[in-house]
Amino acid sequence: MKKKQPNPQYSTPFNDYFKLFDKFDKDVKYTDEYGSFLILSLVEEIGEMTRAYLAKHGRKKSNIAAQKDESYEQELGDILISILRFARIKNINLHERIMYSLKKIEKRQDEPKMVS
């Protein structure tokens, strides 16, 4: 009997989160429809965080009911959950992606682009 190989994304710092998502998402996690749902959810959560942040800092009319419901800090948590769930179903190693992006930022700091 062939031993099942562990999913490489479970050996990242996100391991504990992915294990919890296994409980929540059950069989829907690998469907294309679920991926589409997560992308739409991410966009919605970004909009909610934006509204909450702008209202808190006087850039937008305050919606008292919405502000009592969720703060922009809480909405940021919802955004991260959407990103983690999407990365999990698409087998994206977020640790590698984050390290790649951090190296790009570091390179920009060390070698600023020349303006023509």
In this predicted model, what pLDDT tens digit does every residue of 66-115 receive, in sequence order? 555 678 889 999 999 999 988 888 888 888 999 999 999 999 988 877 76
Q: Is the pTM of this model over 0.75?
A: no
Phi, psi (5° rounding) for residue 15?
A: -50, -50
| Residues making up the chain, counted from first to last | 116
49 or 28, greater pLDDT: 49
Domain ranges of the chain: 30-103
Q: What is the CA angle 35-40-46, rounded to 5? A: 125
**Angle at which helices 15-25 and 72-89 cross, to 10°:** 80
Fold classified for 30-103: Helix Hairpins (1.10.287)
What's the token pair of residue 115?
Answer: 């303006």
The percent of residues above 90 in pLDDT, for the chain, comes to 25
For residue 57, what pLDDT is reported?
80
Q: Which of 33, 16, 34 is nearest to 25 (CA)?
A: 34
Which pLDDT value is given to residue 32?
76
